[in-house]
Structure 1
Amino acid sequence: MAMTDEAYGALRASAALWAGTSVLITNQRGQILLQRVSYRPTCLLPGGAVDTGESPAQGAARELEEELGVRASVTRGLAVDWVSPAGRTTPPAMKFPGELLHVFDGGVWDEDHIASIRPAPGEIEDIEFVEPADLPGLMSPGDARRALCALRARTNGTGAVLLEDGKPLVPTLLDRVNAFTRHRATHHWPWHEGPVPAGIPVRQCWGWLFAADGRVLVLLDPANGAACLPGGTPEPQDQGDPAATLIREAAEEAAVRISVPGLLGYLPDEHHSGGSCARVRMAATLTNVGPSRPDPATGQTYVRALATPEQVIELFDWGSSAADQLTAVHRARARLGLPRAIRRPLTLVTGDEVLR
């Protein structure tokens, strides 16, 4: 039986949802901007309700200006979350019908941009940039899940991901390993190209190990997504040769064989418990990939993934020197005759397909 326009309109109105919008903004260290607001005990991303006749992107730009005093256009979506009536705690009198909440990419803000923020008096009590791993302790559970999924989508370089109550309908590798739920390794040391000066001991050698498509191998903890590059601590059998350390460690912890490594440079660590030391970085290509197995030194079986060098940088907190190291990595890639990798979701490594 055909419905009248009035009846059809009433039926659709009875199923109406709220519409909300928010913006994920990071600083140059990859920390996320949160707002402490006067009307909730937990922190929020900038954003709010979408006004009548307003698109979610327009609402996001308006909220940035109203809440932070910053004019900006937002055009790139990171997530669309269907928040069910049971997925958000609200007073019964509110009769919360559910919500479609959009998360947009606000980009990476430098110090000048951050200094221009003017929080709305009476509404925004404070703003702070926090480590992604701190979100669950500062936000409501659903808000934290949504923000972390949006951050993973940004790192993956995909379009907006679809969520239900902050959980992805199609989890990516970063979702499956719970990336960003553990504090990222912090290495705020200056970058130096060339060999380590005589008299400074080498305590670590990590490698940028390239696949044929220009991406590199990164190791992820399967429980919390904590990342590391292949490599480790020199052992007596390495006879003081960082290249020997990297070849051995790549075989032991990542089950891969590599070409002869070339030196990129080093990071001086003045705060090592055993005294000042150097952390060496090298580059090589992957020549063979075996079955994944536990690292004999730690018993840990890592998730092996391919990522662009830029994506790898986002998995760490390396401070301002990260850009200098990244430049050295790309020079090494060019010397090896490899293409510059296109950003795509991190890919699980299972075998020698990475060599082709």
Structure 2
Amino acid sequence: MTLSGDYTATLPRKRMGAAVLFIDSAGRALLVEPVYKDYWEIVGGCVEENESPRQAAAREVKEELGTTVTPGRLLVVDWVPPRPDRTEGVMFVYDGGTLEAQSTAGIHLPPDELSNWAWCTQEQIEQRMSPLLARRVVAALRAKTEGASFDLEDGFHP
């Protein structure tokens, strides 16, 4: 059997997102508050066509915080099942390292996208984020602490 054209072009496509987890010296996560959602997120967004997840993570940090960062090691890969308003997706979370006060002084949020940012404890993460995002970020914090990388499904360890 001979296939004509690019067979891979007929395969299902998945939505991808990439984010960067920054912490402070107390181990709190940096969360940002989007103007168009009722929950907080970590810095990140959609992976664009012909862009790697790592490149997307770096681009999103530049767009959302106004700073240039080379994402560190991969902390989490999270497959997200489809739901009524979204297709299935694969999300990547990279280590952004520890930010000190001098680094955060240069944060410039895009006002049409983000209204605020804050250092958040695990309790605050669970209060401010959607349950799925909170599970992913808490897992990323744990992966960072343990020097591990986690493969998640819907924010849970399979």
Q: How much does 1:3 deviate?
A: 5.3
Q: For residues 74-223 of structure 1, what are the structure 2 equivalents within 5 Å? A: 74-86=71-83, 90=85, 96-158=86-148, 160-169=149-158
- Name the CA distance, whole Å, in 2 between partners of 1:154 and 1:75: 10
**Structure 1 residue ranges without an equivalent (≥5):** 91-95, 170-356
- 1:68 — aligned with what? 65
TM-score by length of 2: 0.94
Match of residue 217 from structure 1: none
**Aligned-partner Cα distance in 2 for 1:5–1:41:** 47
Report the AA paired with residue 14 of structure 2: L
Q: Structure 1's 53 and 131: CA in aligned 2 closer, same or farther, altered over 3 A?
A: same
**2:7 pairs with 1:8:** yes
Q: Is the 8 A contact 1:16 1:97 kept in 2?
A: no
Deviations 1:9-38 (A, max 9, x none): 3431xx110010011111111111111111
Distance 1:54 1:7, change over 3 A: closer
Percent of counterpart pairs with the same letter?
35
> What is the count of residue pairs matched by the alignment?
158
Aligned to 1:57, which of 51, 54, 58? 54
Give SS of 2:10's match. helix
SS in 2 for 1:58: helix
Rounded to whole Å, the distance in 1 between the matches of 2:9 and 2:29 is 41
1:225-264 alignment, distance < 5 Å = none
Q: Distance in 2 between matches of 1:3 and 1:132?
A: 54
Give the distance between the partners of 1:165 and 1:58, measured in 2 at CA: 23
What is the letter of the counterpart of residue 66 of structure 2?
G
Q: Distance in 1 between matches of 2:63 and 2:26?
A: 25
- Larger radius of gyration, structure 1 or 2? 1
Aligned partner of 1:304 in structure 2 is none
Distance of 1:7 and 1:51 partners within structure 2: 21
The TM-score, its normalising length taken from structure 1, stands at: 0.43
- C-alpha offsets along residues 188-214 of structure 1, whole Å, 9 cap, x if unaligned? xxxxxxxxxxxxxxxxxxxxxxxxxxx
- Give the 3 Å change call, closer, same or farther, for CA 10–64 of structure 1 in structure 2: closer
Relative contact order (alpha carbons < 8 A, sep ≥ 6): 1 or 2 greater?
Answer: 2
The answer to whether structure 1 residue 33 and structure 2 residue 43 are counterparts is no
Distance 1:74 1:10 in 2: 30
Could you tell me how far 1:121 is from its partner in structure 2?
1.8
Instruction: State the 1:7 CA deviation.
Output: 7.1
- After superposition, the CA RMSD in angstroms is 1.4
The Cα shift of 1:52 comes to: 1.2
Q: Is the 8 A contact 2:72 2:97 kept in 1?
A: no
CA contact (8 A) 2:19 2:44 kept: yes
Deviations 1:75-103 (A, max 9, x none): 311000001103xx62xxxxx32111000
Structure 2: how far apart are the matches of 1:128 and 1:3?
56
Note if contact 1:79-1:162 (Cα within 8 Å) is conserved in structure 2.
yes
* Residue number in structure 2 paired with 1:267: none
